[in-house]
Structure 1
Amino acid sequence: MRLSSMADYAVVTMCAAARHCGQQRVSAQQLADETGLPAPTVQKLVSKLSSAGLLKSVRGARGGLKLARPAAAITLADIVEAVEGPIALAPCSEHGRHDCTLESACTVRPHWPAVDAALRGALAGIPLTQLSRPAVQAVPVAEVLA
């Protein structure tokens, strides 16, 4: 499984916004400059993230963007779902979808909701505060085993 580029960019954008938490509001152009993402992409993401209740836009001289709730209350699952929709690993586990040729005889389909819930739970366990701070330098596995 792989995140779409837009979901990845949404995480990057939200991390940049989180680093401004408690300071002045930030513009979409500032987020684009900080992340290296194209401004139109950030604008599109800001729209989706705002619609999902993750970013709040304020107009006026002191306007701009800010997190809609504390960074600790926003999870990786929230961000991914804002861009991708509900987390569903297999297409047949999406609600209302009936386009699989194996649907009538599939013994796996009833298990996908549990898999989706486990995946969502794992992503929901990662708060934006964790993602927005600098990562600790990873140690190569060979060094750990030596």
Structure 2
Amino acid sequence: MKLPVSTEWVLHCAATLAQLEPGGTASAAQLAEYFDLPAPYLAKQLQALTRAGVFNATTGPRGGFRLARPAAEVTLLSIVEAVDGAASPYECREIRQQGRGAAPPEDCREPCVLARTMKDAHDAWRRSLDGVTLADILARLPEAAPGRTRARLGQGR
């Protein structure tokens, strides 16, 4: 499975916001500079996370983005699906019913074994991401990472 590069961006931005002090925000411009990303495109991805209820956005001089829920309640799946959707990357087009090797219709009443296997793999991938929260990610960061992140984003400490 290949995901768009923006998926990496939003996962890192979410982990970064999770490192801020409660109530702390970072603007799209700050996050774009922090990761050396194109600000307009990143802003669109961050807005998608806001529409999905993963982030809250505030305006004004101290405005920006923050997590909408505690890090322990934000799964990686919720982040990925907010920007990439929930559809499976595999689409069965029933080629088993085409060409010289076409299977008879009575053998094609159920999804083929390949389609079922790919669905199982996608479901396992989704369960795996749904079982990991931003709090889990934070627990695996080096101890100094949150302080360094806050300092580099101008959040103190």
TM range (shorter): 0.7 to 0.9
1:11 partnered with 2:11: yes
Q: CA deviation at 1:134?
A: 2.1
Structure 2 length normalisation: TM-score?
0.70
Q: Distance in 2 between matches of 1:33 and 1:89?
A: 31
Question: 2:135 corresponds to which residue?
Answer: 129
From the superposition, tell whether residues 135 and 56 of structure 1 become closer, same or farther in structure 2 (CA, over 3 Å): same
Please give the residue correspondences for 1:28-67 in structure 2 after superposition, counting only pairs within 5 Å.
Answer: 28-67=28-67
- 14-23 vs 71-80, greater mean Cα deviation: 14-23
Q: Which structure has the higher relative contact order (CA within 8 Å, separation 6+)?
A: 2
How many aligned residue pairs are there?
130
**Quick one: which of 98, 102, 124 aligns to 2:96?**
102
Q: Distance in 1 between matches of 2:77 and 2:32?
A: 22
Gaps of 5+ in 1: 93-98, 137-146
Sequence identity of aligned pairs in percent?
A: 32
Contact 1:21 1:66 in 2 (8 A): no
Gaps of 5+ in 2: 98-104, 144-157
RMSD: 2.4
Contact 1:17 1:31 in 2 (8 A): no
Structure 1 length normalisation: TM-score?
0.74
Q: Distance in 2 between matches of 1:51 and 1:102?
A: 40
Q: CA deviation at 1:19?
A: 1.6
